[in-house]
Structure 1
Amino acid sequence: MSAHEVELDVLRIAHGGVAVAELDGRVVFVADTLPGERVLARITDDRHDRFWRADTVRVLAASQDRVRHVWRAASVDRAPEHRAGGAEFGHIAPHRQRALKRTVLRDALRRTARMPDAEIDALDIAVAAAPGEADGTRSRTRVRLHVDRDGRVGPFASRSRRVVPVQDLPLAVEPLEALLPGRARGRELELVAAGSETFAAGPREQRPAVVERVGDRTFRLEALGFWQVHPAAPVVLTAAVQQAIDPALLDPDADNLDLYGGVGLLAAALAGAQDVRVTTVEADAAASAHAAHNLADLPRTRAVAARVDAFLAGGVARPGATVVLDPPRSGAGIDIVRAIAASGPAQVVYVACDPVALARDVAVFAEHGWGVDRLDAFDLFPNTHHLEAVARLTPR
């Protein structure tokens, strides 16, 4: 054991795909383990007084929920600096992955949103398994890889910019794995499976728009534009948003909003089969133009190309609306939440891909008299720490 290696008993899970141990009264965030294990870990960051960071070097006492990693390139059998990033839960049995994600979500609501335990318990939170492979492989239709100076291709190692060359991509759908090159030029490579198309492209490469199908509706989007990564995610989130909307609070004639609307997926979910008035707001002009095309058959929808903050600052939001928002991973933020709450909507349906960001925004809503009365979570990023959540908030 070197001076920088320590034995640790892993206590609990933390946000970000790492677990928590303690050493001489200090918190240590440890990668590539899970609660209940004892590991030999290498300290990688001891600059902070309150916490250190460490990588698992060897598992001394394994949890019963540890499994062979789904991606050999990311396995604990490799030295930490040579482990592929992007599959930080791949050594954990799927049912335990979902349980840990539920714990992280509940902790975020308690610690960051400051919700009482009784309110959290009343939500009866469960993390639903995503459709597809039982072990969570073959679940990504879009993969971003990096290229090192020698042209070798792979992901970065976790928390670094070191490219780990790989020969397989078990988390990607099979057609994408077939596109994995041995060598490439440039700095990044995007592998995309869209509809019946598959292709590899540099991040600035211009390609024709692609088409994705969700149920009986098609959505046109930029080839390298944003779209949900899991093959089932658009269908799952469409259904989740529709189920989260309280029909008693939905006024079809109100100025209903879809904020951070992309190419119109959730605007279509909000419009549903009813004649609902919806404005979808998206800062990316190309995505907004696609939204206008994708929603053209819904006569009471319109697409506005604008930043959400600028749109709301214009005072166009009206009382009584249903607001759907799907902000970036960082969340909507204080100013956006305050503007939404001030406009007096009937309900807000919030689609989140980060539990702590969701909890921060829930805390701001709470300051304005709003609370969460429904919360559904989905494991649409299996073998990683990420999850999607759909919350309904209403005035108290």
Structure 2
Amino acid sequence: MGEWSGRQVEIEVTNVAHGGVAVARHEGRVIFVSDAIPGETVLARITDDSKESFWRAETLSVVEASEFRRPHIWPAAGIDRAPEDRAGGAEFGHIVTAHQRELKRQVLADSLQRMAGIQTDVTVDALPGAEDGTGWRTRVRLHVAADGRPGPYAARSHRVISVDDLPLAVPELAAIAPLEERFPGIDHIDVVVPSLGNPFVLTSGAQRTDARKQGRKATGQRPKAQRILERVGDRDFRLDARGFWQVHRHAAQTLTTAVQEAVDANRFDPRAANLDLYGGVGLLAAALGDRFGSALRITTVESDPLATDHAAENLSEWVGAAAITARVENYVTQLGATASSAERDRLARGSIVLDPPRSGAGKAVVREIAALRPAQVVYVACDPVALARDVALFGGFGYELTRLRAFDLFPNTHHVEAVATLVPAEVF
């Protein structure tokens, strides 16, 4: 840290940046500042001046407020608290909900322009739910302090903050979250509310209770199984209670519909070698099956063996569906190296659904996918910068972005989900 670290400065906030922070300048220096809104003047404290290209700061108070500022939907994260005592996980909670979506749109559009040279008029669509963006989380992880107190981490730290409520959680989760209990020796607690069956309170790999009734305390009793059911439309998906599933109550259905619409039916061959990469428990493979019928051939690839087992079961009605446990990078590399000419033809006629982690697919995976020359790639992204980088990589291999939608799957946070369609330029 240099001489500016810890000093307070009054700065004008001019823009939004990726990661839930805003952009300001002080004496020509770019400053990324938390808990501020473009258009505001704030008093901020410099927290990191170690880099030449930018500094970081945290808002202490608001001098001139934006018209889009509101009281934080989570008092535990409000501006009246010291920055180190503000709960993390709702970094946009002080912004009017509709303007949150506008800021997310700006980040997505700017990322695509800067990294891929693509201009877009994409909007960020709201999901069903409360206008203030509360009451949507069906899964919450609470970390446990040394004295056993559970709570979220403070923003941008690993310090546990005690809280009285969880406003982003669905009511069923908020009712059973053990915020007042103590869990000495436990690392974290997961509270899970599946769409079918009982909610769960899970502690660091041990399942403590199936707390269906409101207010029921964790007892230490281990339920018979950790498998849960999630319903999307008329279809049920089996998965582990700790396994990955979209956290917004309406996210799985939203993405199912979005992927079904993103696939160009004129380029889709159900009998080709279609792939669902980073496939989880088979949600998006099933979305294609429901759209294109029982003749669908698709292979879903996932590194988590338990998720792959569930995917095989969830996709069992499609005779042409297979679930493979493998790292996607290794799978596509081996596929490119060993495929026969007939297999390459089926792959070239196939479509690929790509739903990577927040870090994106990356250069190696994009290169191997592009070498297979699929008829189209439907890319589901939870990070706009990673998406823009990968779209640019695909562009270098002759693929063009033909369709893009974005969804506010994470209200009151900076996260945004996007679904993009890319096709070979020669058939565009």
TM bin, normalised by shorter chain, reads over 0.9
- Report 1:253-332 matches (<5 A): 253-273=271-291, 274=293, 275-315=295-335, 316=339, 318-332=347-361
Q: Per the alignment, in what secondary structure is the counterpart of residue 112 of structure 1?
A: helix
1:143 to 129, 140, 143: 140
How far apart are the structure 1 equivalents of 2:302 and 2:28? 47
Cα distance in 2, alignment partners of residues 220 and 332 from structure 1: 26
Counterpart secondary structure, 2:261 = helix
Q: Is the 8 A contact 1:167 1:180 kept in 2?
A: no
Instruction: State the secondary structure of the residue aligned to 1:298.
Output: coil
Q: Does 1:343 align with 2:361?
A: no
Match of 2:310, SS? Answer: helix
Q: Quote how far apart the aligned CAs of 1:285 are.
A: 0.7
- Whether the 8 Å CA contact 2:60–2:82 is kept in 1: the answer is yes
Q: Which runs of 5+ in 1 are unaligned?
A: none
Shift of 1:205: 2.0
Contact 2:189 / 2:201 at 8 angstroms: preserved in 1? yes
CA deviation vs aligned residue, 1:178-215 (integer Å, no higher than 9, x gap): 22221223121111101232111123225521010001
Equivalent position of 2:100 in the other structure: 97
Tell me if 1:170 matches 2:167: yes
**Alpha-carbon contact 1:203-1:224 (below 8 Å) kept:** no
The residue number in structure 1 matching 2:47 is 44
1:280-338 CA distance string (max 9 Å, x none): 11111110010010111122211111111221122256211110010000001101001
Distance in 2, matches of 1:356 and 1:349, equals 17
Identify which of 158, 162, 176 aligns with 1:179.
176
For residues 1-396 of structure 1, the aligned pairs below 5 Å read 4-115=7-118, 120-121=119-120, 124-181=121-178, 182=180, 183-185=182-184, 186-195=186-195, 196-205=197-206, 207-273=225-291, 274=293, 275-315=295-335, 316=339, 318-396=347-425
Spell out, residue by residue over 1:82-120, the C-alpha distance to the aligned partner (whole angstroms, 9 max, x if none).
0000000000001100000000001110112233xxxx2
Task: Give the secondary-structure state (helix, strand or coil) at the position aligned to 1:102.
Answer: helix
User: Structure 2: how far apart are the matches of 1:42 and 1:386?
Assistant: 25
* Partner SS state of residue 206, structure 2: coil
| Aligned mates of 2:18, 2:154 — CA distance in 1 | 18
What's the C-alpha RMSD, in Å, of the aligned pairs? 1.3
CA contact (8 A) 2:275 2:351 kept: yes
Q: CA deviation at 1:170?
A: 0.4
User: 1:272 is aligned with what amino acid?
Assistant: D
Overall identity of the aligned pairs, in %: 57
CA distance in 2: counterparts of 1:336 and 1:271, whole angstroms: 24
Q: Deviations over 1:58-95 (max 9, x none)?
A: 01111111011110000011110000000000000011
Q: What TM-score do the two structures reach when normalised by structure 2?
A: 0.89
SS at match of 1:178: helix
CA contact (8 A) 2:6 2:47 kept: no
**How far off its partner does 1:7 sit?**
0.4
Q: What SS does the aligned partner of 1:293 have? A: helix
Structure 1's 146 and 110: CA in aligned 2 closer, same or farther, altered over 3 A? same
| Structure 2 Cα separation of the partners of residues 59 and 96 of structure 1 | 18
Q: Hey, what's the Cα distance between the residues in 2 that align with 1:35 and 1:265? A: 38
| Separation of aligned partners in 1, 2:333 and 2:158 | 39
1:175 deviates by 1.5
Residue identity opposite 1:205 in structure 2: A
Tell me if structure 2 keeps the 8 A contact 1:349–1:391: yes
Cα pair 2:300 2:323 within 8 Å, conserved: yes
Q: Which residue is 2:210 aligned to? A: none
Amino acid at match of 2:102: A
Distance 1:309 1:150 in 2: 42
Amino acid in the other structure paired with 1:231: R
Counterpart contact for 1:10–1:19, Cα < 8 Å:
yes
How many residues were matched structurally? 389
| Residue 3 (structure 1) shift | 6.9
- Please report the TM-score for the alignment, with normalisation by the length of structure 1: 0.96
